[in-house]
Amino acid sequence: MSANPTLVPSALPELFPPLRPQRGWIAFVRRHPMVALGAALLTMIVLLAALAPWLGTVDPTRISPIARGRVPSAAHWFGTDMLGRDLYSRVLYGARVSLTVGLAVAVLASVLGLVIGTLSGFLRRLDGVLMRVMDGLMSIPPILLAIALAALWRGSLGGVIVAIAVAEVPRVARLVRGVVLTLREQPFVDAAVAAGTCTPMIIWRHILPNLAATMTVQATYICASAMIIEAILSFIGAGTPPTIPSWGNIMADGRAIWQVKPHMVLIPAVFLSLSVLAVNLLGDGMRDWLDPQQPQRI
Amino acid sequence: MNRGAYVLRRLAATLPVMAVVALFLFSLLYLAPGDPAALIAGDNATTEEIACIRASLGLDRGFAARFVDWSGRVLQGDLGQSIFTALPVTTMIAQRIGPTLSLMAVTLLLSVGLAVPLGVLAAWRSGGWVDQLVMAAAVLGFSVPVFVVGYALAWLFAVQLEWLPVQGYAPLAEGLWPWLRHLLLPAVALGGVYVAVIARTTRAAMLEVLRQDYVRTARAKGLAPAPILFIHALKNAAVPIVTVIGIGIALLIGGAVVTESVFVIPGVGRLTVDAIQRRDYPVIQGVVLMFSAVYVLINLGIDLLYTLLDPRIRY
């Protein structure tokens, strides 16, 4: 006698594969299309910025008086500006400025906001003073605050980064303080206090890890907003020094004759918008993925 | 707590905020490079003459004394004097405020008029095509900077189609239509982010309210969708929407500086940009101080409005 082979227990897994969540990047893309789209777009822009010297560019600051104000052609893919500088090279190198500023401001503003927000949430005595200062800074419209600071430290990329970061910090600090105040009431913090853990250790082990998701999402939004503010500052002449090719500077250079040569303004504009869109998509997607309780950007 | 006490407490709370703003902006001028006394004295002045001017301006005193002095003058409406034109900063702002106020008023009306109904529709047919369009447009609104929208609109509607003027400004005295014609494109460009923010908040607030029992009751008694949405629901969703309209004024103020540059509107924004290029710090300081005060006052007004919008609020 022989048993029906299909009923042998060892054959069961082949007939009924266990229900396992789909893994791999295809499944991830299907579940989080926004993150994937944003990440893909951002990767492309990062690659363009990083590989700029090897992508058929020339020196973005080289002036060529005989090739002024050219429209896009085979020799100059995006045309040239009124000093004869190659716009394709300038736009690609401009991506470096935009991404650097976005990343640097996101890191700086997040760290400062975390420090101020956590101090405020834990030290009642400092809380009043710190929050009044943050309220004061928040009541200056962010772009004007950045303009005022950048006008003070004009002529350096570092000054622009610090100026934008200062304008972004109050919102981060407020958000962090709110989350810290909620976390402090959680049972696991009570337990840690009861076990005799010192406050710095509680912050390190229990508070910061719980802030990670929120902060990652907020840092993406800060990055997007910093890229826009950098372009605005450069465009109105208060930002990145005019010798550095940044998207705002390229648009400022093309401003005088944009009605005749719209490509001088519109090409960097498209690159700027796509980059900010990529970062925002990444942020929105990550919020749904990592931090669904945080419904809105600040 | 009754309403009167709340109003007083809220007024008192704005004082430290304005003090921080003032201290911050004063430090800005204090730290600004360049010596105003040397600028006023001119190229041929001797060291003694410069020192004399510095003493007469009170620039030789300490930080605290100068801050108190400066605050006193600001409270009397004296924002100092431009390094470049030697005109009082208040006069320069007054000359340029008309176009900026016009631009912001038109933008505010257009944006709120568009964003609130869009947000309501998106919440009503949540998941439908209006909703998806509004949410997609909101992401775009956050991503495309004001001046990019401005140039794109100007290129399409002014340069290509020639429907509206490319740039410039016409005062209201020249007639309503010339005034509005010049402001339409700038207002749409400036309103982009603002519409995105308001529409998203309206949608979220309405989704919350539409879940309530009284909305189901209204529907059950056979009320048409329009009165349910715009009377019953919108009124109860008003607090967050009005809040975001107030906070969003900051976007309009910052954006106006850029929009005026793109469309060559002779407003306070242009004044700021010119001041940056001339390193005219007193003007920059004056403009930022004025806008911050306006922003604080608007949001103070909105906070006080809550007690009227929602009598349940107790403080």
Q: Is A277 on the interface with B (CB under 8 A)?
A: yes
- ipTM of the complex in this document: 0.84
The helix (run of H) or strand (run of E) holding residue B30 is helix B3-31
Chosen for mutation from B15, B151, B208 (greatest number of chain A CBs closer than 10 Å) is B151
- The residues near A21 (Cβ < 8 Å, ≥ 6 apart) are A27
Is B21's CB within 8 Å of A139's CB? Answer: yes
DSSP notation for B132-181: HHHHHHHHHHHHS-HHHHHHHHIIIIIIIS--S-SS----GGG-HHHHHH
The answer to whether residue A2 scores a pLDDT higher than 50 is: no
Beta-carbon separation of B273 and A236 below 8 A: yes
A226 pLDDT exceeds 90? yes
> Which contacts (CB < 8 Å, 24+ apart) does range B122-129 have?
B122/B199, B122/B202, B122/B203, B123/B202, B123/B203, B123/B204, B123/B206, B123/B207, B123/B210, B124/B206, B124/B210, B124/B225, B124/B229, B126/B203, B126/B207
pLDDT tens, A82-123?
Answer: 776 777 888 888 899 999 999 999 999 999 999 999 999 888
Q: How many alpha carbons lie under 13 Å from residue A227 in its C-beta half-sphere?
A: 31
Calculate mean pLDDT across residues A201-226. 89
Q: Using CB atoms, which residue from B155, B250, B273 is nearest to A141?
A: B250
Residue of B nearest to A135 (CA): B17
In this predicted model, what pLDDT tens digit does every residue of B48-98 receive, in sequence order?
777 777 777 667 777 888 888 888 888 888 888 887 787 888 889 988 898
In the chain, the amino acid numbered A240 is: T
Q: Per-residue pLDDT for A10 more than 70?
A: no
- Homologous superfamily (CATH) of A33-60+73-290 is MetI-like (1.10.3720.10)
Please provide the average confidence, as pLDDT, over all residues in chain A: 82
Q: Which residues of A touch B147 (CB under 8 A)?
A: 231-232, 235, 251, 269
Q: Please, which residues bridge with residue B81 across strands?
A: B88
Query: According to the model, what pLDDT value does residue B116 have?
Result: 92
Residue A283 is which amino acid?
A: G
* pLDDT per residue as tens digits for the range B256-290: 988 998 888 898 988 988 888 888 888 888 999 99
Q: How confident is the model at residue B1 (pLDDT cuts 50, 70, 90)?
A: low
Q: What is the pLDDT of residue A252?
A: 86
Side-chain-facing half-sphere of B147: CA atoms under 13 Å:
32
Amino acid at residue number B248: G
- Residues in A touching B25 (Cβ below 8 Å): 140, 148
Could you tell me which of A25, A243, A234 has the C-alpha nearest to residue A143? A234
User: What number of other Cβ atoms are within 10 A of residue A193's Cβ?
Assistant: 14
Inter-chain residue contact A144 with B257, CB threshold 8 Å: yes
End-to-end CA distance of chain A: 73
Q: Is the pLDDT of residue A298 over 50?
A: no
Q: Which residue of B has its CA nearest to A264?
A: B151
Contacting residues of A for B258, CB less than 8 Å apart: 143, 232, 235-236
Quote the pLDDT of residue A9. 53
pLDDT greater than 70 at residue B302: yes
User: What is the tens place of the pLDDT at every residue in A236-288?
Assistant: 888 888 888 888 888 888 887 777 778 888 889 899 999 999 998 888 888 87
Question: Which of B166, B200, B291 has its CB closest to that of A144?
Answer: B291
Q: Which of A287, A246, A212 is nearest to A99 (CA)?
A: A246
Strand partners, A86: A80
Pair of tokens at residue B220: 């059950």
Mean pLDDT of B181-188: 88
Vertex B219: Cα angle to B218 and B225 (nearest 5): 100
Q: Looking at the complex, does the CB of residue A152 fall below 8 Å from at least one CB of chain B?
A: yes
Where does residue B300 rank: exposed (0-12), middle (13-18), buried (19+ CB within 10 A)? middle
Mean pLDDT of chain B: 84
Its pTM stands at 0.85
Q: Is some CB atom of chain B closer than 8 A to the CB atom of A213? A: no
* pLDDT tens-place string over residues B128-166: 888 888 888 888 888 888 888 888 888 888 888 888 887
Which residues, 6+ apart, have CB-to-CB distance to A287 below 8 Å?
A217, A294
Interface test with A, best of B15, B18, B20, B284 (most A CBs within 10 A): B20
Q: Chain B closest CA to A16's CA: distance in Å?
A: 36
Residue B251 C-alpha, separation from nearest chain A C-alpha, in angstroms = 7
The whole-number pLDDT of residue A46 equals 92
Which of B25, B143, B208, B302 is most worth mutating to test chain A (most A CB atoms within 10 A of its CB)? B143
pLDDT reading at A179 higher than 60: yes
pLDDT, residue A20, reads 57
CA dist B150 to A62, A269, B268, Å?
A: 30, 10, 18
